[in-house]
Amino acid sequence: MQVVEYVLALCSWVAIGMLLVFLGRIAYFYQKTSGQRVGYYLLLIPALTLAAGAIWYLVSNVEFTAEPVADLLLFGGGLLLILFGMHLQELMTGERR
């Protein structure tokens, strides 16, 4: 049963990684074509925070959601990712309100 858990976790983290790469490429493309400064390199901060949370769980070898530090890393990475996505959306849509 643990093999299935590891395979599902690996598949989900690969999907998250691919989505991060696509978001980074969209931000890079928009910066190059529009001339506006997007700060696409700042996407590395949430990516590294999410990776640190996942690695923390792998190293501690516990059930998922049992480590407060890893949970905070995952929460912080997700929050930073949401903020980056909202910032990018505001830039791309002309900052409509």
- Render pLDDT for 45-57 as a digit per residue (tens, 0 to 9): 999 999 998 888 8
Give the gyration radius of the chain's Cα atoms.
16
Cα 28 from Cα 91, distance rounded (Å): 13
Confidence of residue 64 (pLDDT cuts 50, 70, 90): low
Rounded to two decimals, the pTM is 0.81
Please check the confidence at residue 36 and state whether its pLDDT lies above 80.
Answer: yes
- 7-16 pLDDT, tens digit per residue, is 887 888 899 9
Question: What's the mean pLDDT when you consider all of the chain?
Answer: 88
pLDDT at 43 over 80: yes
In sequence order, the 6+-apart residues with CB closer than 8 A to the CB of 73 are 49, 50, 52, 53, 56
